Structure 1
Amino acid sequence: MSLSNVRSFRKKTSEFLCNLQTKRDYKDCSIFCFTETWLDATIPDSTVQPPGLTTYRSDRSRDETGKARGGGVCILVNDRWATDVKILSKTCSVDI
């Protein structure tokens, strides 16, 4: 598992893709968890989802948090590791 605070994942996707192709630790990783992705509804999953990984996102929303910028979480699950992932619940709180 890999956990990173990326502060704008979209700006770092090319570096991430390069690491996936060249570094064994990345190739063999089962789950990547990125915080502070700064993604929003205008950015499709295909922009940040490399082949062989499935994307699960929770973007910051002004309606839910009162804030429009920053935040967000993106989890990429390696398809070789798990293909039956299910989201059981999702919550957002202005108190967190």
Structure 2
Amino acid sequence: MQRSSHGHAGPGDRSDDKKKYTKFRKDNRCRFCREKAAGVDYKDIVTLIKMSTNQGKLYSRKRSGNCAKHQRATSDAVKRARYMALLPYAGQ
């Protein structure tokens, strides 16, 4: 009986699948560490908007990709920008 063409032929046949998935690997390093930025600026509204949802909440570290140091700095920068009325407290 002939085997179907879909599926793996055996354990040695998985090298092609690994090559297929490793092409599009996302760089998991922090955005600010990659750019070697001095810090997160509360006046940089474009960056801060990317770090928050439409409702005005901040994305988590896992979702935004920030390291712990820059996530805390982002949180402080968003709070300062809200206080200075550069960002809304609530979303749109």
Is the TM-score greater than 0.5? Answer: no
Q: TM-score when scaled to structure 2?
A: 0.29
Q: TM-score when scaled to structure 1?
A: 0.28
Could you say which structure has the higher helix fraction?
A: 2
Please say which structure displays the higher CA radius of gyration: 2
Could you say which structure has the higher strand fraction?
A: 1
